[in-house]
Amino acid sequence: MEEEKVHVLYVDDEEHNLNAFKASFRRDFKVYIAESAAVAKDILANNEIHVLITDQRMPVTTGSELLKEAVKINPDQIRILLTGYSDLDAVTDAVNNGKIYKYIQKPWDDNELREVIKEAYSLYKSIKAKEDLTKKLMLTNEQLEFYLRQKLLS
C-alpha cells in the first residue's frame, strides 16, 4: 500500500519563493501554494493540510495573523513560520497565538526544511492517532456503561 503524501501549504507573497518551494518539494510532498492569506484560507477550508508554512511579512495579513486563523480552521495542523527577517514580536505572536511548531529563517536549506516537514507530519499523525484512540475509548466506555445498566436492571 502506498503511503499518503504529506499535504503542505506554503504561503508567500513573492512568486519566486512560491516557485522555488514547489520545485524543491513537489516530488516529496503534495504541495499547495498561496500568494496571500486570503488564498491560503480558501485552501485550508477546502483541503486537509497537514503542514502549513507561511512567510511572516506579507501585505494585508501577516503570517502570524494567518497562523492564528489557521488554528481555528484546523487546530491539529502543524504550523511553521518562515521568514527572512528577525522580528521578535512577530515570532512571539506566532508562538503564542499561531501555535507554531518551528520558526525557520530564509533562505531555507532544502534538506533541513524537508526533514522539518517530515517531523511535523509525524507529529500530526501522532495527534490524529491519539484523537482516534480517545474516540474509541469513549465509545467503549459508553457501551460498557450501557451493559452495566442493563445488568443492574435485570
Q: Which helix (H) or strand (E) holds 104?
A: strand 102-105
pTM, full prediction: 0.83
- Which CATH superfamily hosts domain 7-127? Response regulator (3.40.50.2300)
Q: Where are the domains of the chain?
A: 7-127
* Contact call for residues 122 and 140 (beta carbons, < 8 A): no
Q: Which helix (H) or strand (E) holds 11?
A: strand 7-11
Instruction: Write out the chain's pLDDT in tens, 154 residues.
Output: 346 799 999 999 999 999 999 999 999 999 999 999 999 999 999 999 999 999 998 999 999 899 999 999 999 999 999 887 666 677 777 776 778 888 888 889 999 999 999 999 999 999 999 999 999 999 999 998 888 888 888 7
